[in-house]
Amino acid sequence: MNYPYSKQKWLALTVAAVMATSLGVASAKEAAPAPVPGSAAANSTVESKTTDAASDAAKADNAAAKEESTAADKQASDAKTTPADATKTGATTTDPKNTDASKTETTTTTPAGANTQNPTTTTAPTAAAEKLTLAKAIEQSLKTNPTLQSLRIDADSADINLRVTNFNLRGIPDSFVDSLDAAKQKYVSGQRAEVNKKVNDLGLKIAESKIKLGAEKVYYDVINAQADLDAKKQSLARAQTQLKVTKAAVDVGTRAKTDLLQAEMGLSGAQANLASAENSLEVAKMKLNDFMGVSLDKKYVLTDVDKQVQTISMSLDKAKEAALANRLEIRQKEALLGVAELNLKIVDEYSSLATFPGQSAKKDVEKAKLDIETEKRSIEMEVAEAYYNLNAAKLGVEFNKKAKESAAESYRLTNLRFENGLATTLEVIQAEEELSNRENQYQTAQHNYNIAVVNFENAIGK
């Protein structure tokens, strides 16, 4: 049978058709059934499908023999191609692990100009910030706060001094105690060392209570800074919306150029406030890390929120009673009174209270008692102040919440008036600024309430 083309040309046309198919051209199978070779239909079909590839077919005539001779090598090379190699060359690869009934293939394309030597470069995922509750912040502060660590060293030193004193006093027999100086050395010195240790231990617990208070304050400072940043973002979004609306109105000629300038000014102010809030948040986070005694760059996600506003559960008198029963400062002063009374007893037993040492010992007892009363009065004042501040903070939150809601409604109505041509851009900007200020004042009031709660709890020794 006579074919319209030579065998080499038929091979070249076949290669060209395959190349055209890989570029997205429909194959001959999809276009029509394969015609019988040698027929007029076959000739016309082949000619019509290969018109655009004529130049390629001419070039392929010379390469046909080479294609035939290297076909086997090419098949072997393709069979050895790994997924990684296919990625480097932009080839289509099939993941054997994900092969299903439909034999879905995954195509990886290397962008132009990309580094083909390492096309699978991956970016290491950023470590997720650790969640930090208020309780965990307090726990961390009690472990690693520098001030508290220093006080623990002092307490350990006092314990060592007590053991040294007790060891030395064991060598003094009771029969040798025949004078005031010997009695003081035998009894008062040991008792004083024990009281000093007790005082240091109480001082350490008092310091821990203050560290707890400080941790709560810096924790809520971060919450306040984050809330302030969120409010500034909302203000910026409102300014961006206003600028967009104003620009559209200026473009159609319903607003003057001055309105656009005012909107741009409002956006610039919102952007500056946002930048300031971002800086304040970073500083607050660093202060929290510094107080806890951890790296200043450590990242946390604070999970606790603002305290719920509620009425104080106890009266002022009950709060004072709780403070006098719980506060360790009073126990500390009482321990010092015990040392003074022991010294007075030793002087009375081995000397006379009429002597200068006796009169000095009595004054020490009087001063120790006065210190206790002064401490009690100071604690009662602290409790009363914290109690009143907490009540005032509660009222402040309630007032500023209503003021914020009123400012939000005023801003909404001003926007409606602006959309209907009854308000200027300046009026909208002023309403937005008023809303932003009310939001800030509300968040400040909420922060003040948080601090008032922790101050009150600390004042009553909770």
Percent of the chain with pLDDT over 70: 67
* pLDDT tens string 185-233: 666 666 777 777 777 788 888 888 999 999 999 999 999 999 999 999 9
* pLDDT tens string 31-68: 444 444 444 444 444 344 434 444 454 444 444 444 44
* pLDDT tens string 107-161: 334 443 334 444 444 444 455 678 999 999 999 999 988 888 888 888 788 778 7
Higher pLDDT, 153 or 173: 153
Alpha-carbon dihedral sign for residues 397, 403, 406, 408? negative
Domain annotation for the chain: domains and CATH numbers: 1-75 (no CATH), 132-459 (1.20.1600.10)
The CA distance from 60 to 46, in Å, is 16
Percent of the chain with pLDDT over 90: 42
Of the candidates 273, 156, 167, 291, the residue with the CA atom closest to the CA atom of residue 219: 291
- Predicted confidence band of residue 338 (pLDDT cuts 50, 70, 90): confident
Instruction: Specify the DSSP element, H or E, that contains 301.
Output: strand 300-302
Average pLDDT score over residue span 13-36: 49
Both tokens assigned to 151: 């006080």
Q: What pLDDT was estimated at residue 4?
A: 53
Of 250-259, 338-347, 386-395, 448-457, least confident by mean pLDDT is 338-347
Instruction: Specify the DSSP element, H or E, that contains 379.
Output: helix 356-419
The CA distance from 343 to 336, in Å, is 11
Average pLDDT score over residue span 432-438: 93
Which class for 431: exposed (0-12), middle (13-18), buried (19 or more C-beta within 10 A)? buried
Of 82-96, 314-328, 360-374, least confident by mean pLDDT is 82-96
The CA distance from 133 to 222, in Å, is 12
Per DSSP, the residues of 149-200 read HHHHHHHHHHHHHHHHHHHHHTTS-GGG--SHHHHIIIIIHHHHHHHHHHHH
Higher pLDDT, 392 or 25: 392
Q: What pLDDT was estimated at residue 452?
A: 94
Average pLDDT score over residue span 393-398: 94
Both tokens assigned to 108: 């990886």
- Predicted confidence band of residue 177 (pLDDT cuts 50, 70, 90): low
Average pLDDT score over residue span 275-291: 95
Residues 6 or more apart whose CB falls under 8 angstroms from that of 67 comprise: 11, 15, 60
